[in-house]
Chains A and B, each alone.
Chain A
Amino acid sequence: KAGVTQTPRYLIKTRGQQVTLSCSPISGHRSVSWYQQTPGQGLQFLFEYFSETQRNKGNFPGRFSGRQFSNSRSEMNVSTLELGDSALYLCASRQGQGVPEAFFGQGTRLTVV
């Protein structure tokens, strides 16, 4: 069974640009969550999608958005990039039943210059 796949693995963008990150969850998992990880900040929750609907949202500005497709794949978009957006963006998939464990992808390392 394939794990969670995130693309791209690394990305360098310039301030003001926008970026789209992709996440393919484990087959059969309908819940996809996104987290931002920066040194010393732990895992900051961005949002969670379940069956194409945003179920929860963290305290991030509106520049951060996401969506989920009918095949459960999810994308995260960040517009008008700022230097502070440089981080590891992690996607986690869950089956969606009860509160199961989260399976994380390798992450996308975004650097904003």
Chain B
Amino acid sequence: GQQVMQIPQYQHVQEGEDFTTYCNSSTTLSNIQWYKQRPGGHPVFLIQLVKSGEVKKQKRLTFQFGEAKKNSSLHITATQTTDVGTYFCAASGSARQLTFGSGTQLTVLP
């Protein structure tokens, strides 16, 4: 089945610093989605990227889809304590099954 690798697994940042998580696949992806799971909560959809080279922004969050549609990144500018949680990428292949990356757990130190 399709696999997506996500790095880093953990990231500790000082409040105000930037944060980036990366998602990589060995195969071309039809699309990629990003989710956020707060501690004790459930994953919540953030965004979906479909086009090669696509860049989307949500306030301090910037999402990119690689030109070859094999990688994606989520960048948070000037992190805040409310950004704490685990960020997952998820991709679907021809079977339309959503496969999740292992997640990046973000800790923001005040």
Partners in one complex: yes
A→B interface (CB under 8 Å) = 33, 35, 40-43, 45, 48, 55-56, 58-59, 90, 92, 99, 101-107
- With A and B bound together, what is the CA distance between A59 and B1 in angstroms? 9
Task: Identify which of A42, A58, A101, A105 contacts B33 (C-beta below 8 A).
Answer: A101
- With A and B bound together, what is the CA distance between A58 and B42 in angstroms? 20
Nearest A-chain residue to B96, judged by Cβ: A99
What is the count of residue pairs linking A and B with beta-carbon distances less than 8 angstroms?
Answer: 57
Nearest B-chain residue to A44, judged by Cβ: B100
Task: Identify which of B9, B30, B102 contacts A99 (C-beta below 8 A).
Answer: B30
Nearest B-chain residue to A90, judged by Cβ: B42
- With A and B bound together, what is the CA distance between A41 and B102 in angstroms? 6
Q: Which chain B residues lie closer than 8 Å to A35 at the CB level?
A: 100
Q: Assess whether A42 is in contact with B31, with CB atoms less than 8 Å apart.
A: no
